[in-house]
C-alpha cells in the first residue's frame, strides 16, 4: 500500500516536472523569439537616431551644401536649380489660366478664372480634373507620356461648356513638372533625371516643354506651353498669393523637395543674371541631399541598392511617401525571418512596395484597443492572419520609428534653409551676430503633399522637431502653413500667372 502511494507520488512528481519542463521550455522559446524581435526594433531605433544634436548637424550640413550648390555647377549633391522666376503672384491677376500638373502619383488638368482681386477661396474658382498616372506610362517612351498628357488636356477642353465666357483665343498653358529640370528660361528646360519610380530613358536630356508642345500639336490643339515650373515653385507661388511672408515651399508627398527665394548676388554660379526684383526662386532638389550625419540603416542601404536609381535621392528615400511603407515592410520581413511571431514567413513580405505608405500610416494611427486595423492590413497586404496583439504593437512601433525619423529629418532640412537665409535667429550661416541681437521676422514656410497633409502624426513630429531645433522663442516666428489638398491642386495656378507676368 505504502509502496503504491510512493509510486503514484513519484509518477505524479515526474509528470509534473515534465509538464513544468515543457511549460518552461515553451516560455523560454517564446521569450527568445520575442527577444529577437525586440532586438530588431532596438537596433532600428538606434539606427534611426534623430536626437536634437544630430538634427543640428543635419541643419548645418544642409546650409553648407546650399552654399556649395549655389557657388558652382556640380558643387554639391544639392543641384540648387535656377528657375528664372522672380515675381510671385499677389492676387491682382485676372483672366483664364490653364495648367497641367505632372506629380509623382497623379496627373491634373486645371482651369482657373481670376478676377483681379485676391481670392480667399481659390478652390472655388478652379476646375480640376485629376487622374492617377497609369503605371505603364511611367516606364514607357517620351512620346507615350506626352501623348497621354496631351489627350487628357484635349478631353478637358472638349468638355468646356459652349457659350461660357472662356476665351476661345489661342490658349496658353503652364506646366508643373515635378522632376529635376535644368531650366534655360521660364518656359523651357532639360530633364536631368527621373525620380519616384519614373523611368523613361529617352526623355533625359530633352526639353520637356518642347516635348509637350509637340504632343499638343500632334493632337491638333492650339495651345502654347508658356511656362514650365517645378511643383515646389508652384507651391511657393500659391503660398505667396495667400501670404507675402512666405519664403520657402516644401513638398512632402510621393517625393520630397524644397524651393526658396534667394538673393541674386548669393547665386554665385550665375553672376550677371538680371532679375528685376534682385531675387530668384531656387529649386533645391533636396531629395538628393546627402550628409554623413544622416542616420542610415541597413534597410535604407538595401532599399537604395534595389531601387531603379541607386546612390541617388538619398534624403528623399528616408523621407517621402514613395519609400516609408517599403522601409517598414523590410523591417517586418527581418523580424519574420528572425522569429515566428508573425507565423510562417509570408512570400508577400518579399514584394517591394507592396505596403503603400497610406496603409502604413493607417496602421500607425490605429487607435482601436486591439489594433484591429493593423491586423486587417497585415492580413490583406501580407496575407499574415491572426497576428497576436503583442506583435501588432511592435508593427506600430516600427511605423512610428520610421515616420518620426522622416518627419524630423524634413524639419532639419527646413531649418537648414532658414539658416541659409538668416531666418533661424542666428544671423545666417556666415553671420556672427548672437541670437539676442536679431529681430526675428515673421517667416512662413508653405508645405504641400499628401504625406504631410494627410498624416497627422507626421505633421506633429515635424512641428515638434522644428521647435526643438530652433527653441520656442525663435520657433514662434516660424509659421508652417499647410496647403490643403484642394489648394494643392492649385499649385499650377501661379505658373499660369507667370505666363502673363514673365512669359510674354
Min dist. Cβ of residue 58 to ligand BGC (A): 19
- Window 203 to 232, contacts with ligand BGC (CB under 6 A): 230-232
Is 178 among the residues known to form the active site?
yes
DSSP label at 441?
P
Considering beta carbons, is residue 104 or 416 the nearer one to ligand BGC?
A: 104
Residue 221 vs 284, nearer CB to ligand BGC? 284
Question: Which residue is catalytic, options 76, 119, 178, 453?
Answer: 178
Q: Does 403 bind ligand BGC (CB under 6 A)?
A: no
CB 172 within 8 A of CB 100: no
| Active-site residue flag, 231 | yes
**Minimum separation from the CB atom of position 213 to ligand BGC (A):** 20
Which residues in 259-295 are b (16+ Cβ under 10 Å) and which e?
bbbbebeebeeeeeeebeeebbbbbbbbbbbbbebbb
Handedness of CA 343, 344, 347, 350 (dihedral sign): positive
To ligand BGC, the closest distance from the beta carbon of 77 in angstroms equals 12
Give the one residue of 300, 316, 326, 468 binding ligand BGC; rule: CB under 6 A: 316
Binding to ligand BGC (CB under 6 A) within 242-301 occurs at 251, 253, 255-257, 285, 287
Which CB, 180 or 425, lies closer to ligand BGC?
Answer: 180
Number of residues that bind ligand BGC (CB under 6 A): 18
Decide whether 196 or 392 has the Cβ nearer to ligand BGC: 196
Which DSSP category does 116 fall into? Answer: S
Q: Whose Cβ is closer to ligand BGC: residue 261's or residue 378's?
A: 261
Task: Based on the shown chain and the rule CB under 6 A, indicate whether residue 450 belongs to the binding site for ligand BGC.
Answer: no
Closest CA to 328 of 349, 314, 343, 311: 349
Residue 136: is it exposed, middle or buried by C-beta count within 10 angstroms (0-12/13-18/19+)? exposed
Dist CA 342 CA 354 (whole Å): 17
Q: Is 196 in the site for ligand BGC (CB under 6 A)?
A: yes
* Cβ–Cβ under 8 Å, residues 289 and 68: no
Longest CA span, the chain: 114
Task: Match 486645371 to its residue by C-alpha cell.
Answer: 110
* Residue 207 appears among annotated catalytic residues: no
- The stretch among 41-49, 87-95, 177-185, 347-355 that binds ligand BGC (CB under 6 A) is 177-185
Is 119 in contact with 97 (CB distance < 8 Å)? no
Does residue 448 touch ligand BGC according to CB under 6 A?
Answer: no
Contact 289, 320 (CB under 8 A): no
Residue nearest to ligand BGC (CB): 255
Please list the active-site residues: 108, 178, 231
Q: Which residues bind ligand BGC (CB under 6 A)?
A: 103-104, 178-180, 195-196, 230-232, 251, 253, 255-257, 285, 287, 316
Amino acid at each position: 500500500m505504502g509502496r503504491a502511494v510512493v509510486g503514484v507520488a513519484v509518477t505524479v512528481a515526474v509528470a509534473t516536472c515534465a509538464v513544468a519542463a515543457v511549460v518552461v521550455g515553451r516560455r523560454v522559446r517564446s521569450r527568445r523569439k520575442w527577444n529577437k524581435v525586440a532586438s530588431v526594433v532596438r537596433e532600428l531605433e538606434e539606427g534611426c537616431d534623430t536626437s536634437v544634436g544630430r538634427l543640428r548637424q543635419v541643419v548645418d550640413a544642409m546650409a553648407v551644401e546650399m552654399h556649395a550648390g549655389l557657388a558652382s555647377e556640380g558643387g554639391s549633391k544639392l543641384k540648387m536649380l535656377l528657375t528664372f522666376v522672380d515675381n510671385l503672384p499677389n492676387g491682382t491677376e485676372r483672366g483664364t489660366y490653364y495648367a497641367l500638373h505632372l506629380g509623382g502619383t497623379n496627373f491634373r488638368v486645371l482651369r482657373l478664372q481670376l478676377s483681379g482681386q485676391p481670392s480667399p477661396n481659390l478652390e472655388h474658382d478652379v476646375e480640376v480634373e485629376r487622374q492617377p498616372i497609369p503605371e505603364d506610362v511611367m516606364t514607357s517612351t517620351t512620346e507615350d507620356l506626352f501623348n497621354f498628357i496631351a489627350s487628357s488636356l484635349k478631353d478637358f477642353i472638349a468638355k468646356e461648356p459652349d457659350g461660357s465666357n472662356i476665351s476661345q483665343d489661342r490658349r496658353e498653358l503652364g506646366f508643373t513638372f515635378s522632376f529635376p529640370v535644368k531650366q534655360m528660361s521660364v518656359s523651357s528646360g532639360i530633364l536631368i533625371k527621373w525620380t519616384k519610380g519614373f523611368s523613361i530613358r529617352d526623355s533625359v536630356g530633352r526639353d520637356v516643354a518642347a516635348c509637350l508642345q509637340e504632343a499638343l500639336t500632334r493632337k491638333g490643339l492650339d495651345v502654347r506651353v508658356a511656362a514650365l515650373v517645378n511643383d515646389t515653385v508652384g507651391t511657393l507661388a500659391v503660398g505667396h498669393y495667400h501670404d507675402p511672408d512666405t519664403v520657402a515651399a516644401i513638398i512632402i508627398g510621393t517625393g520630397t523637395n524644397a524651393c526658396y527665394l534667394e538673393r541674386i548676388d548669393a547665386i554665385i554660379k550665375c553672376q550677371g543674371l538680371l532679375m528685376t526684383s534682385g531675387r530668384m526662386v531656387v529649386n533645391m532638389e533636396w531629395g538628393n541631399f546627402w550628409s554623413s550625419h544622416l542616420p542610415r540603416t541597413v534597410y535604407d542601404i538595401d532599399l537604395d541598392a534595389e531601387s531603379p536609381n541607386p546612390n541617388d535621392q538619398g534624403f528623399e528615400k528616408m523621407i517621402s511617401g514613395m519609400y516609408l511603407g517599403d522601409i517598414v515592410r523590410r523591417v517586418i520581413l527581418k523580424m519574420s525571418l528572425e522569429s515566428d511571431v508573425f507565423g510562417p514567413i509570408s512570400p508577400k513580405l518579399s514584394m517591394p512596395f507592396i505596403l503603400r505608405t497610406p496603409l502604413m500610416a493607417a496602421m500607425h494611427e490605429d487607435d482601436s484597443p486591439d489594433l484591429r486595423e493593423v491586423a486587417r492590413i497585415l492580413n490583406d497586404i501580407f496575407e499574415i492572419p491572426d497576428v497576436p496583439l503583442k506583435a501588432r504593437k511592435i508593427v506600430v512601433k516600427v511605423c512610428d520609428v520610421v515616420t518620426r525619423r522622416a518627419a524630423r529629418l524634413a524639419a532639419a532640412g527646413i531649418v537648414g534653409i532658414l539658416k541659409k537665409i538668416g531666418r533661424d535667429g542666428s544671423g545666417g550661416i556666415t553671420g556672427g551676430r548672437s541670437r539676442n541681437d536679431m529681430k526675428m521676422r515673421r517667416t512662413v514656410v508653405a508645405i504641400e503633399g499628401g504625406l504631410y497633409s494627410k498624416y497627422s502624426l507626421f505633421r506633429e513630429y515635424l512641428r515638434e522637431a522644428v521647435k526643438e531645433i530652433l527653441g520656442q522663442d525663435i520657433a514662434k516666428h516660424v509659421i508652417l502653413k499647410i496647403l490643403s489638398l484642394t489648394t494643392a491642386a492649385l499649385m499650377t495656378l501661379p505658373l499660369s500667372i507667370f505666363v502673363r507676368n514673365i512669359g510674354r
